């Protein structure tokens, strides 16, 4: 075993860490293989076979193939630690192999014609029967020129799994996440720290969930008290007050339950709120009494709560806004009676430049849920057609919104005009569903495709914000294909159910973080 990882170790600097590097898992044997699509300085595919507890590896510039006519160059590279097997994420630029990595294929394999694959590799010829999602059948690796260089040839035998003309680049999606390299690069779940011991090299970039003990402490408080959460000491009040009536057959939602939700969702919701002024829709007497907008950061707000002074504020307008810069800020807002969180569409450092173009599908009284789904699907098709990335969310009330991340430099006039052009094109397909009238009455119950929300200090409800209605429904991001889920409803999820959904499905809006794009000209 000794020596197999020496080259790997030499290429990395372990000086920063005293732990022994790259100890193989005891008893790990032959069995698994992986192909990672790795965009480093050059795109290549890393083909790795698990042998004696390490990953014996080749870099294949054009990728492995099922095409029996193809002969692929495969450069034998150093063994990799077994911990790398299902790594998908980014390797920081400047480090060895810097770039983005997806698990392009994985499965099991058996060596053919030998019981000693390590010896077969040393002898310069490995036959492998692979059972992956994309790769199946017999792969053969042969060292070129019979020498001892690193250049090998990779081919697929002409067997029942062979497919002529098959090209890896036509199958670009990860088999474990369904994402492309671009999508993983835009929003990596993990980082590979090449300088760390293998067991610690894969670092999660996902938000740290709130420990259960923090919720236990909230439960143990009386009607009010001091709650230590996310490292902040917050005075929390009126904890047993009912803020939302229950849905049929369910108990009402108290302020204590709202605070628990705010704390649990904060690490997930924060990326959509941080660095932005927060407009708070407050309902201190609960969702059944009228609410009001509160934008001014109150005098009694704790010092750690970030603040932004709006340089454009006119006489009598809000001068100082709360900017949620950490998870505890959302708990503070919930305790302040903010049942709804509305972040600005622009960031405080560039208040006149939106970072999202927003499509607000606003149903009229006569708009059925199926009609709204039609409008959402048509927008999805239109976005696909012009090559623009966006994601939808249900509002928690009746509507659907589509958020489109844009690069810096656009004005609100720009995004508003772009969304108007797109939505008018969509509206022409289904004129019977849509009204362009400004007055609600004049719309005759039809839906509005509301591009006017693209304006400074106009806001849409934040992803994962509660809404002031029975059961405390939540605005929830969805995947596009969920538009076809017969159980989808605009108010399907509540503060009681959305965390389970997140655990199962993840957060579809994460794909938008880091995906800022230019908007193509629409004609």
CA torsion sign for 191, 193, 196, 198 is positive
Nearer to Mn ion, 22 or 327 (CB): 22
Residue numbers 46-105 binding Mn ion by CB under 5 A: 46
* Shortest distance, position 97 Cβ to Mn ion, whole Å: 5
Nearest to Mn ion of 74, 322 (CB atom): 74
Shortest approach of Mn ion to residue 95 CB, angstroms?
A: 12
CB contact burial 138-164 (16+ within 10 A = b; e otherwise) = bbebbbeeeeeeeebebbbbeeebbee
**Nearest approach, Cβ of 101 to Mn ion (angstroms)?**
7
**15-50: buried (b, 16+ CB within 10 Å) or exposed (e) per residue?**
eeeeeebbbbeeeeebebbbbbbbbbeeebbbbbbb
Compute the least distance from the CB of residue 38 to Mn ion, in Å.
4
Number of chain positions touching Mn ion (CB under 5 A): 2
Would you put residue 135 in left (φ > 0), alpha (ψ -120 to 50) or beta? beta
Residues 27-46 touching Mn ion, rule: CB under 5 A, are 38, 46
CB of 92 to Mn ion, least distance (A): 14
In the complex with Mn ion, which residue's Cβ is closer, 172 or 267? 172
How do strand 32-39 and strand 54-60 relate by DSSP bridges? unpaired
Q: Which residue of this chain has its Cβ atom nearest to Mn ion in the complex?
A: 38
Shorter beta-carbon distance to Mn ion: residue 101 or 130: 101
Q: How far apart are CA 76 and CA 65, in angstroms?
A: 17
Cα–Cα distance measured from residue 13 to residue 92, given in angstroms and rounded to the nearest whole number: 14
| Smallest distance, Mn ion to C-beta of residue 251, A | 54
Residue closer to Mn ion (CB basis): 75 or 417: 75
- Cβ proximity to Mn ion, 46 vs 100, nearer residue: 46
Distance of closest approach, residue 55 Cβ to Mn ion, in angstroms: 11
Cβ closest to Mn ion, residue 38 vs residue 448: 38
Q: Please, which residues have CB within 8 angstroms of residue 178's CB and are 6 or more apart in sequence?
A: none
Q: Is 455 exposed, middle or buried (0-12, 13-18, 19+ CB in 10 A)?
A: middle
| Calpha distance 167→90 (Å, rounded) | 24
User: Which chain residues interact with Mn ion by CB under 5 A?
Assistant: 38, 46
């Amino acid at each position: 075993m000794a020596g197999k990882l020496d080259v790997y170790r030499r290429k990395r600097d372990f000086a920063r860490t005293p732990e022994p590097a790259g100890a193989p898992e005891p008893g790990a044997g032959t069995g698994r293989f992986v192909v990672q699509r790795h965009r480093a300085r050059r795109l290549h595919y890393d083909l790795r076979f698990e042998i004696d507890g390490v990953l014996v590896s080749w870099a294949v510039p054009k990728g492995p193939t099922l095409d029996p006519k193809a002969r692929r160059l495969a450069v034998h590279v150093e063994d990799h630690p077994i911990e790398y097997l299902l790594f998908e994420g980014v390797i920081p630029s400047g480090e060895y192999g810097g770039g983005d990595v997806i698990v392009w294929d994985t499965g099991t394999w058996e060596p053919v014609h030998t019981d000693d694959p390590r010896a077969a590799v040393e002898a310069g010829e490995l036959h492998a029967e692979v059972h992956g999602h994309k790769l199946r059948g017999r792969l053969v690796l042969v060292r070129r020129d019979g020498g001892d260089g690193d250049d090998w040839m990779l081919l697929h035998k002409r067997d029942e799994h062979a497919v002529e003309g098959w090209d890896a680049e036509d199958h670009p999606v990860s088999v474990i996440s369904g994402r492309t390299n671009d999508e993983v690069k835009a929003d990596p779940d993990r980082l590979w720290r090449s300088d760390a011991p293998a067991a610690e090299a894969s670092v999660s970039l996902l938000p740290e969930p709130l420990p259960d003990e923090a919720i236990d402490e909230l439960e143990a408080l009386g009607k009010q008290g001091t709650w230590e959460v996310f490292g902040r000491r917050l005075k929390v009040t009126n904890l047993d007050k009912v803020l939302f009536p229950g849905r049929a057959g369910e108990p009402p939602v108290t302020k204590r339950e709202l605070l628990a939700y705010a704390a649990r969702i904060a690490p997930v919701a924060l990326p959509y709120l941080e660095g932005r002024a927060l407009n708070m829709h407050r309902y201190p007497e609960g969702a059944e009494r009228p609410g009001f907008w509160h934008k001014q950061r109150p005098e009694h707000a704790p010092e750690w709560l970030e603040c932004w002074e709006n340089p454009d504020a006119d006489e009598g307008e809000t001068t100082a806004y709360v900017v949620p810069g950490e998870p505890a800020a959302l708990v503070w807002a919930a305790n302040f009676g903010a049942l709804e969180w509305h972040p600005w569409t622009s960031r405080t450092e560039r208040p006149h430049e939106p970072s999202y173009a927003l499509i607000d599908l606003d149903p009229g009284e006569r708009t059925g849920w199926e009609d709204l789904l039609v409008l959402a699907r048509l927008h999805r098709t239109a976005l696909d057609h012009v090559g623009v990335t966006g994601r939808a969310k249900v509002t928690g009330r009746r509507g659907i919104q589509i958020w489109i991340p844009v690069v810096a430099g656009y004005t609100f006039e720009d995004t508003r005009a772009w969304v108007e052009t797109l939505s008018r094109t969509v509206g022409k397909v289904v004129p019977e569903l849509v009204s362009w009238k400004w007055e609600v009455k004049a719309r005759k119950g039809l839906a509005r495709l509301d591009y006017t929300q693209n304006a400074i200090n106009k806001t849409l409800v934040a992803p994962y914000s509660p809404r002031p209605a029975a059961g405390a429904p939540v605005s929830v991001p969805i995947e596009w294909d969920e538009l076809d889920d017969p159980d989808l409803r605009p108010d399907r999820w509540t503060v009681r159910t959305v965390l389970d959904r997140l655990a199962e499905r993840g957060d579809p809006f994460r794909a938008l973080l880091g995906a800022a794009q230019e908007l193509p000209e629409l004609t």
